Amino acid sequence: MVAAVIERDDRLLICLRPAEKQHGGMWEFPGGKIHPDESLEDAVSRELTEELAVTTTHVGDVLFSSFDKRSGFEILFLPTRIEGEPQALEHSALAWCAPSELLTHRLAPSDHAFATFLLGEFV
């Protein structure tokens, strides 16, 4: 799975998962499954178009990876640049927050691990 780390004005975009989905009511970095024969860049671009109605302009190298025990997927966190204003098409809400504010949100397990890594507070 891919997770897009989108930064704008020193803030990161996180999305609130709908209550009825796995990890419902938790915040996450947007993204999703990689389809067979799909590159990481293509997966990020497709997922962000579907979830946020934005255009992906750049996907960088993997910053962090985390295995989500509940889903059985490895999640790859990738720095991503976008064009357009994100819309919550598949999430309950969107938020731009400073990196220092990430851990004040109830993050999904892999997203929490990434935020901890990002802040240099290794678990």
Question: What does the angle CA 50 – CA 5 – CA 36 come to, to the nearest 5 degrees?
Answer: 50
Architecture of domain 2-118: Alpha-Beta Complex (3.90)
Q: Could you report the per-residue pLDDT of 79-111, keeping only the tens digit for each? A: 999 999 999 999 999 999 999 999 999 999 999
Residue with tokens 């802040």: 119
Q: State yes or no: pLDDT of 123 exceeds 90.
A: no
Section 22-33 average pLDDT:
88
What is the rounded (10 degree) CA torsion for 31, 88, 12, 24? -60
Q: Please, are residues 119 and 104 in contact by the beta-carbon 8 Å criterion? A: no
C-beta neighbour count of 114 within 10 angstroms: 23
- Return the higher-pLDDT residue of 30 and 25: 30
Q: Where are the domains of the chain?
A: 2-118
